[in-house]
């Protein structure tokens, strides 16, 4: 099991440390869609997301890649 490095510290002192993520599903008439989101804890903003009809590991990777890409664009 991975160690809990966040240790319930949900109010960071500075931006971009840490990011957290979660996966949920959305029921539709055509079945479930899975949503992975990356949250920047300091601002409480979603900084990356991805949706898919299944829940492969790539779903979380795509959401994280979006967050990283947007962060790099903001830094210039």
Place 36 in a pLDDT band, splitting at 50, 70 and 90: very high
Q: Give the predicted TM-score (pTM) of the model.
A: 0.83
Block residue for tokens 């949250």: 39
- The pLDDT value given to residue 50: 97
35: three-class secondary structure by DSSP? strand
- The pLDDT value given to residue 25: 94
Q: Give percent of the chain with pLDDT exceeding 70.
A: 100
Lowest-pLDDT choice from 15-19, 32-36, 44-48:
15-19
Question: In a 10 Å sphere around its CB, with 0-12 CB exposed, 13-18 middle and 19+ buried, how is residue 67 labelled?
Answer: buried
């Amino acid at each position: 099991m991975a160690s809990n490095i966040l240790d319930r510290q949900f109010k960071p002192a500075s931006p971009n440390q840490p990011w957290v993520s979660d996966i949920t599903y959305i029921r539709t008439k055509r079945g479930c869609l899975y949503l992975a989101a990356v949250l920047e804890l300091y601002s409480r903003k979603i900084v990356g997301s991805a949706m898919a009809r299944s829940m492969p590991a790539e779903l979380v990777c795509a959401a994280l890649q979006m967050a990283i890409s947007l962060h790099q664009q903001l830094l210039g």
